[in-house]
Amino acid sequence: MRVANSKGYSLVELLVGLSVSILVSITALSVMTSATTMQARIDAKTRLSLEVSRLLTMMETEIRRAGMCYQCDGASPYLFDSSHDLHLLLIDETPSQRQGQCLRFAYQQDSLHPTNTVGKDDAKGFRLDTEAHAIEIYENHRDTANWSCESGYWRDISSRALKISHLSFTRNEVHTENGRRITSLTIKVSASLNRQPGLRKDVSRTLVLANTVASS
């Protein structure tokens, strides 16, 4: 009976094959790790961008209505009067202040009844909480006695995943030929993720308010 002469792999060939397999596995793992890290970074940047955009959109929507009065009885109560110089916005509690971290304004929520006073739901505001690193909105459903930048009637509206390092409001007013004054506001926000402080988003938006005031 004839016996087949079979020859297996040598030890050197086995070691070479094993080394190649290990190198291929390491390379594949490295590529997968790099891709996963990159995707995680992209996801984090996207989340940060969306959160900041949400905050700005919310603030813009409210601020654009500043001074709006559907049925005011006489002079609008939603303006800030400083020596007969009227303003739609109040920054850091000072009418002459053009830049700051706290903004107050008001507009008529209930259009069914004429009014000459600011109601509890009409008072609005946004500010930076420097200790909590958050953006806050003014909210008091009882009265307007504590409607100020220093009161405690403010609540966070920014995500807990965010760290707000900067919030500023800059007001600009332009006089028109027909004796009116147009108000624009620039909002600047700088934010990062608490878990990834190296990722930072700086955004600046300028909006023009819908209402105007008489020039002094």
Q: Domain limits of the chain?
A: 41-214
Q: Are 185 and 63 in contact (CB under 8 A)?
A: yes
**pTM flag (> 0.75):** yes
Q: What is the mean pLDDT of the chain?
A: 87
Cβ of 192: how many Cβ atoms within 10 Å?
Answer: 21
Provide the pLDDT for residue 119: 87
pLDDT on residue 167: 98
Contact 148, 93 (CB under 8 A): yes
DSSP-derived 3-state class of residue 96: coil
- So what's the pLDDT on residue 38? 74
Which parts of the chain register pLDDT below 70? 1-9, 35, 37, 39, 73-74, 216
* 114 token code pair: 């004429």
